[in-house]
Amino acid sequence: MNNTELLHQVALTLVPHIGTIQAKILVEHFNSASAIFAASMKELSAIENIGEIRATAIKQFNDFSIAAQEIDFLQKSGIQPLFLTDAGYPKRLLHCTDAPTLLYYKGNKPLNEGRFVSVIGTRNNTHYGKAVAEQFIEALRNYNITIVSGLAFGIDAIAHRAALQHQLPTIGVLAHGLNKVYPSQHTQLAKEMIETGGLLTEFTSFADADRHNFPRRNRVVAGMSDATIVIETAEKGGSIITAECANSYNRDVFAFPGRTTDNKSAGCNTLIRQNKAMLLTDAAQFMEAMGWHTTQRKTTVQKQLFTDLSPNEKIIVDLLSLQSGIHIDELNVKCNLGNSHVAAAILNLELAGVIESMPGKMYRLA
């Protein structure tokens, strides 16, 4: 990559008043970070949701030396930067309004290859939670599934270790820079994960594991996965935040229930009661709910059908291939074809058996 462009990509994440949403708007408008910094004050301030204050922040930014130091760290540490426009950037995250502008990745698992499932839960798990997590992941061992979690104590670490044990790639999403591992007790675990999976963060090397970083980490855990599985959590905490994020991204959320008297399962039970998560009992039920139990014959027929799609139908199928389920309103917005054209394409795809409708005006590939 052009180091000048990378310098501006890192710098964009350091500009005051420019968050992920504003950065995404700017990137979509100018197509590159370098072009953003080269734009005039007038061009920048005229863009919707940017205005004069943010335009001034961009034009006055002069901390490029910090960005240069970060690039030096990336090169010495074998870390791959993934900008919004890069082919290796997790495509599932691109469908999230607050997608990270720049990700830092150290690992060997391509982030757009296969299916991704987040397994999350309490840091203070019980024997029940540990057994559920281990049995669930063991049952997925014969499928092309990557396990995502946050490398925290408890269910996160159990999920990562179970994935390694059963030769499943696993990704740890961090709330700090890649110059360290937090908690430090998971340093060896992190090294093992890099071999077939990896470590991912949106934070620069000088960012510590501050408390306000964890909710940001949690949205990445939710956004880069097809589904989120919650195993043991109280009614408040990071796992609930992650589940809420997954719901807001129209991703599937599942929760293992617990005893009504067990505070560590209270959050799971509440998610189920409020219809924010499907009640889950085992991996077979999960695979069926996701529609991932398909025969070879069905896959072959579907591939043949895909070759005969109209341009509008192909747009819809391409979107659904990135998510396990999308609401009709989200399809209308993302397709940008007009509601009537989307409705006609959906009808044809349903009749052809390419997609299927789910409760709540959701659609997925058949």
Considering the chain, what is the average pLDDT of its residues?
91
Task: Report how far residue 125's alpha carbon sits from residue 235's, in angstroms, rounded to the nearest whole number.
Answer: 14
Predicted local confidence at residue 21, as pLDDT: 95
Per the structure, how many domains does the chain have? 3
Q: Is residue 89 part of a domain?
A: no
The predicted-structure confidence for 110-162, as pLDDT tens digits, reads as follows 999 999 999 999 999 999 999 999 999 999 998 989 999 999 999 999 999 99
CB 293 within 8 A of CB 286: no
Last residue of one domain, picked from the residues 290, 323, 341: 290
**pLDDT of 89 strictly over 90:** yes
Shared domain for 258 and 327, answered yes or no, is no
The predicted-structure confidence for 167-215, as pLDDT tens digits, reads as follows 999 999 999 999 999 999 999 999 999 999 999 999 999 999 999 999 9
CB 105 within 8 A of CB 198: yes
Predicted local confidence at residue 172, as pLDDT: 98
Shared domain for 159 and 276, answered yes or no, is yes
pLDDT band at 360 (very low <50, low <70, confident <90, very high): low
Shared domain for 153 and 241, answered yes or no, is yes
The SS3 call for residue 357 is strand
**pLDDT of 301 strictly over 80:** no
Shared domain for 266 and 312, answered yes or no, is no
Here the CATH number for the domain that contains residue 267 is 3.40.50.450
Shared domain for 267 and 166, answered yes or no, is yes
pLDDT band at 331 (very low <50, low <70, confident <90, very high): confident
Q: Is residue 88 part of a domain?
A: no
Shared domain for 222 and 343, answered yes or no, is no
Q: Is residue 100 part of a domain?
A: no
Shared domain for 318 and 216, answered yes or no, is no
Q: Is residue 126 part of a domain?
A: yes
pTM score of the predicted model: 0.80
Predicted local confidence at residue 311, as pLDDT: 84
CB 59 within 8 A of CB 44: yes
The SS3 call for residue 15 is coil
Q: Count of alpha carbons within 13 Å of 213, Cβ hemisphere only?
A: 16
Domain residue limits at 360: 296-365
Predicted local confidence at residue 295, as pLDDT: 35
Task: Report how far residue 174's alpha carbon sits from residue 204's, in angstroms, rounded to the nearest whole number.
Answer: 11
Here the CATH number for the domain that contains residue 37 is 1.10.150.20
Q: Is residue 94 part of a domain?
A: no
- Report the 3 state secondary structure along 51-105: HHHHHHHHHHCCCHHHHHHHHHHHHHHCCEEEECCCCCCCHHHHCCCCCCCEEEE
Q: Is residue 86 part of a domain?
A: no
Q: Looking at the DSSP assignment, which residues form a beta bridge with residue 103?
A: 82
Shared domain for 182 and 141, answered yes or no, is yes
Last residue of one domain, picked from the residues 290, 315, 347: 290
Shared domain for 285 and 304, answered yes or no, is no
Q: Is residue 93 part of a domain?
A: no
Task: Report how far residue 239's alpha carbon sits from residue 312's, in angstroms, rounded to the nearest whole number.
Answer: 37
Shared domain for 132 and 254, answered yes or no, is yes
Shared domain for 229 and 256, answered yes or no, is yes
Q: Is residue 54 part of a domain?
A: yes
Shared domain for 281 and 310, answered yes or no, is no
Q: Is 202 exposed, middle or buried (CB count within 10 Å of its CB: 0-12, 13-18, 19+)?
A: buried
113: tokens are 């290859």
**How much of the chain exceeds pLDDT 90, in percent?**
75
